[in-house]
Chain A
Amino acid sequence: MRPFVLGAVAYDPKVVTIWDGFKLFFEERGLPFDYVLFHNYERQVAAHFAGVIDVAWNSPLAWIQAERIASRTGRRATAVAMRDTDQDLTSVVVVRADDPAQNVSGLRGRRVGVGAGDSPQATLIPLWSLQQQGLDTSADVSVVRHDLLVGKHGDHIGGERVAMEALLKGEVDAACILDANLVGFAADGTAPAHRVRVLHRTAPYDHCNFTILDGVDGAACERFVSLLMGMSWDDPSVRRLMDLEGLKAWRPGRTEGYAQLDAACTTFGTIDAFVASVG
């Protein structure tokens, strides 16, 4: 029987541990399973459309790429599952605690540090959100990108950390990061809570999802999703895997939470060339 093949991006060595563990989990439950690791999301999305993989563990930006390519080529992309921790995230624009800015317009004429150019949470969504607040991010502020590991769509936390460090060193006047990293950077000492404050917070959005395309083996996909949904964090045999992936429960996929990113991609034209090149 042909295995159900998943694609994932190798943004960290632990990715091998995670998917080796999932491979065992699925196979012990009767679903032949294999996985392919990609260096970057663009390669993964292209491989998905080429039929190399059945399901893609996609970043939100990869999801928008897949959805647009599908739309352009007459196919259909569906988000079948996501983590509980992928839902209702926000990004924050932080400044130094003693910064005079009291609102977004206080950033006019100043430097805004962001993560990698393809990071939804540290670049695309917060910059688009600043635009909605009346700030032209191409003219009113100077955007300073911290392009670590481009192609990983910001999965690697490094770009956000460098942006935060640049803020504290005075190299930029604001930094855009994921809300959870504000607590994380306070805990690991990168940015103690009393040294920074939140100037702006985006509306909630969703993060990664498992994406399938039309033509996938329906029965295998159904089995894949039902096994995911059956995982319980209370079960010690799967808790380790769920801890590694950073979730307490799997949720059915939903796509309403990608509206901001979709609008940001349209505004900035971030993925236009790639989308046009596939299919």
Chain B
Amino acid sequence: MPRLDLGRHSLARGAHLALRRALSALEAGEELVIVGEDGELEVHLGTHARRWGAGVERDGAGWRVSRPMHLDGRWRGAERTGQAGIDGVVERASPHWGLAARGAAVEAGSPEFRFPLATRDELWTEEASRLYLQAAAAQWDPSTAIDWSAPISHPPEVEDAVVQVMTYLVENETAALIVPARFCAQVHPHFREILQLLAIQAADEARHIEVFTRRMLLLRSAPALSTAGGQASLKTLTDEPDFALASFLTSVLGEGSFLVLLRFLEHHAPDPVTSAVARLAAVDEARHVAFGLAHLERHVARDPSLRDRMANAVLGRHAALQHTAGLNEEVFESLVLLAAGSLELDALERGWDAVTALGEEMDAGRQVRLRRLGFSDVDAKQLSSLHTRNFM
């Protein structure tokens, strides 16, 4: 008969774990003999046995304990939630799996949660884990990654332009934070890599808001103008209720264009701080675009009708925004002046040409990404041309 000697140890001070383990190892009908020196062993044993539904009988110097009926009870009927690894993602995650780790055994009778995004087709990409790990490793600290004391020597009118562009960037990044944050709360935790990616994407945007705000207020006490047209354009993103369409509009088209803008700012910035904040933000944005493209590529391969819905979303957004001003004059001219570096006429001409080239580069990039999603050359060209003039 198996025997457990507890020595001087108390069942009220941790030793009951050893007891439970020894009882779990018993075969049906088998009994365990417990011996020990603790004066309260009998009292404690009786308490635990009653709670576990086990019988206890005195047996010489010790006690005989039967295998409890319900020792492993909560495992009985528990359901495995796929497998822990990346290959263990199932087609549709069950509402009653709730918040459990993927692959955990969920006790029967667990409550149901409402996670509207719960299927592999609408969420998944094989890239998710790699992109998350990359994002986690690439987090940077705004206070040390940027030399905030770097010299700024450009004229005040160029600083005005920088402040206007930063004002514009902050509101765009706010939209880019809200969109993934909203969907993050709708994703079934079974798809944990997606949850993690959306969360870290929102954290990236929080950091971008911080650095753009800090650069905006480095030499000025107030931001510049936020325009009705700019906000109307962003509102169409935050209002979009469909995850695939919101990803398409925000990440693939919006952040894709924004990425080109950030590279432009890094290259044409009149000061090292502006250049640094744009460079660091661009690295993060590139990941956001890669995730959006990866999961939409997979989604559209399984559901080709998504392509029509995406095209309709661009058309709908264009229709909704056609009576607005698009990229406002203040931002456009600030970009020209920022790239020019001064109000000198030759410089302004160079700045103008650079901003014009920026628009063409954004258009070319959008067409490339649209073709990756299976749009024809003609459709890609047409849809790209209808993208908001506000860039994002």
Is A263 in the interface zone, CB < 8 Å from B?
no
> Could you tell me if B39 and A198 are in contact, using CB atoms closer than 8 angstroms?
yes
Interface string of A246-261 (1 = CB under 8 A from B): 0011000000000000
> Could you tell me if A180 and B51 are in contact, using CB atoms closer than 8 angstroms?
yes
Is A137 in the interface zone, CB < 8 Å from B?
no
| Contacts A180-B50, A248-B70 given; does A237 touch B109 at CB 8 Å | yes
> Could you tell me if A234 and B50 are in contact, using CB atoms closer than 8 angstroms?
no
Residue of A nearest to B44 (CB): A183
- Identify which of A88, A193, A198, A249 contacts B53 (C-beta below 8 A): A249
Is B107 in the interface zone, CB < 8 Å from A?
yes
Chain B positions within 8 Å of A236 at CB level: 77, 107-109
Q: Output the least CB separation between B268 and chain A (Å).
A: 64
> Could you tell me if B11 and A183 are in contact, using CB atoms closer than 8 angstroms?
yes
The distance in angstroms between the C-alpha atoms of A92 and B107, with both chains bound, is: 36
Q: How many residues of B contact A (CB 8 A)?
A: 24
Is B361 in the interface zone, CB < 8 Å from A?
no
> Could you tell me if A85 and B50 are in contact, using CB atoms closer than 8 angstroms?
yes
Is B73 in the interface zone, CB < 8 Å from A?
yes
Is A203 in the interface zone, CB < 8 Å from B?
no
Q: How many residues of A contact B (CB 8 A)?
A: 27
The distance in angstroms between the C-alpha atoms of A249 and B69, with both chains bound, is: 10
Is B142 in the interface zone, CB < 8 Å from A?
no
Chain A positions within 8 Å of B107 at CB level: 236
Residue of B nearest to A198 (CB): B40
Q: Output the least CB separation between B43 and chain A (Å).
A: 5
> Could you tell me if B43 and A182 are in contact, using CB atoms closer than 8 angstroms?
yes
Is A25 in the interface zone, CB < 8 Å from B?
no
> Could you tell me if A234 and B77 are in contact, using CB atoms closer than 8 angstroms?
yes
Residue of B nearest to A97 (CB): B39
| Contacts A193-B12, A197-B40, A248-B69 given; does A180 touch B47 at CB 8 Å | yes
Within 8 A of B (CB), among A88-137: 88-90, 92
Interface of B is mostly: loop
Chain B positions within 8 Å of A182 at CB level: 12, 40, 43-44, 47
Q: Output the least CB separation between A7 and chain B (Å).
A: 26
| Contacts A88-B50, A192-B13, A193-B12 given; does A201 touch B43 at CB 8 Å | yes
Chain B positions within 8 Å of A233 at CB level: 70, 73
Q: Output the least CB separation between B368 and chain A (Å).
A: 52
Chain A positions within 8 Å of B10 at CB level: 186, 193-194
Q: Output the least CB separation between B9 and chain A (Å).
A: 10
Chain B positions within 8 Å of A88 at CB level: 46, 50
The distance in angstroms between the C-alpha atoms of A136 and B224, with both chains bound, is: 88
> Could you tell me if A85 and B40 are in contact, using CB atoms closer than 8 angstroms?
no
Is B114 in the interface zone, CB < 8 Å from A?
no
Is A187 in the interface zone, CB < 8 Å from B?
yes
Within 8 A of B (CB), among A222-239: 233-234, 236-237, 239
Chain A positions within 8 Å of B70 at CB level: 233-234, 248
> Could you tell me if B51 and A85 are in contact, using CB atoms closer than 8 angstroms?
yes
Residue of B nearest to A180 (CB): B47
Chain A positions within 8 Å of B3 at CB level: none
Is A14 in the interface zone, CB < 8 Å from B?
no
Chain B positions within 8 Å of A87 at CB level: 50
Within 8 A of A (CB), among B26-51: 39-40, 42-44, 46-48, 50-51
> Could you tell me if A179 and B73 are in contact, using CB atoms closer than 8 angstroms?
no
Residue of A nearest to B50 (CB): A85
Is A240 in the interface zone, CB < 8 Å from B?
yes
Interface string of B1-37 (1 = CB under 8 A from A): 0000000001111000000000000000000000000
> Could you tell me if B43 and A92 are in contact, using CB atoms closer than 8 angstroms?
yes
> Could you tell me if A183 and B109 are in contact, using CB atoms closer than 8 angstroms?
no
Within 8 A of A (CB), among B351-377: none
Residue of B nearest to A246 (CB): B51
The distance in angstroms between the C-alpha atoms of A124 and B156, with both chains bound, is: 88
The distance in angstroms between the C-alpha atoms of A182 and B43, with both chains bound, is: 9
Residue of B nearest to A240 (CB): B109
The distance in angstroms between the C-alpha atoms of A182 and B48, with both chains bound, is: 11
Within 8 A of B (CB), among A167-223: 179-180, 182-183, 186-187, 192-194, 197-198, 201
List 15 contacting pairs A-B, 8 Å CB cutoff, sorted by A.
A88-B46, A88-B50, A179-B43, A182-B43, A183-B12, A183-B44, A183-B47, A186-B10, A193-B40, A194-B13, A197-B39, A233-B70, A233-B73, A234-B73, A236-B108
Known: A180-B50, A193-B12, A239-B109. 9 other contacts (CB 8 A): A85-B51, A90-B43, A180-B47, A182-B40, A183-B48, A236-B108, A236-B109, A237-B109, A239-B108
